[in-house]
Each structure stands twice: as C-alpha cells, then as structure tokens.
Amino acid sequence: MTMEQQVTEAIEKVFNIKVNPQCVCPANEDPGEWAPNAHAIIYHTNGMPSIDHIDKWAKVSAMLVKPPEWFYVEAINNEVSAVFNLR
C-alpha cells in the first residue's frame, strides 16, 4: 500500500468521509512543491477537513505506520498539510 493510500484510508476512517483523490498526492508529484521531503501532501479543499480538527488529525497520524517507520501529519498552512517520517 502506498503512503497516499494509507493516508486516504486513515482520513476516511477518522473523519467518516469519502476523500477526493485530488486531495492527497505523493510529495514528489505535488504541483505546489510544498514539501518535497515529505511522503505525501494533503490539500484541505473539496471537502477535506481543515487542520483545525487537530484531535482527529492526531488520530490520522497514529494510523500511519509502515514498520519500522512511523509518520505524522503536519500543517504547512491552512490549506496544505504534509506527511513526514518521525526519524
């Protein structure tokens, strides 16, 4: 499973929504080049919940694991977040 798929599944479970595929993309394919060293980019548009729901985004982060690595969601601004590795 790719990181984008894992992020999408976690968001759908935590927020109980269907994620627009354009809202989550690999960082190396991000047209905005927000965080080239990230593993995925999340756009808070088209119904994607805002980063203001910090408690729920923490739950999404807790679900992002590709053993032995752990990942977390970090806000870049109000409309864009990135998924980084905890290393």
pLDDT digits (tens), the chain, 87 positions: 899 999 999 999 999 999 998 999 999 999 999 999 999 999 998 889 998 899 999 999 999 988 888 999 999 998 999 999 987
CA distances from 60 to 30, 31, 32, 46 (A): 20, 24, 23, 18
Compute φ and ψ for 80, nearest 5 degrees: -140, 135
Specify whether the backbone of 75 is left (phi greater than 0), alpha (psi in -120 to 50) or beta. beta
Q: 50 with 14: CB under 8 angstroms?
A: no
Tell me, what amino acid is at 13? Answer: K
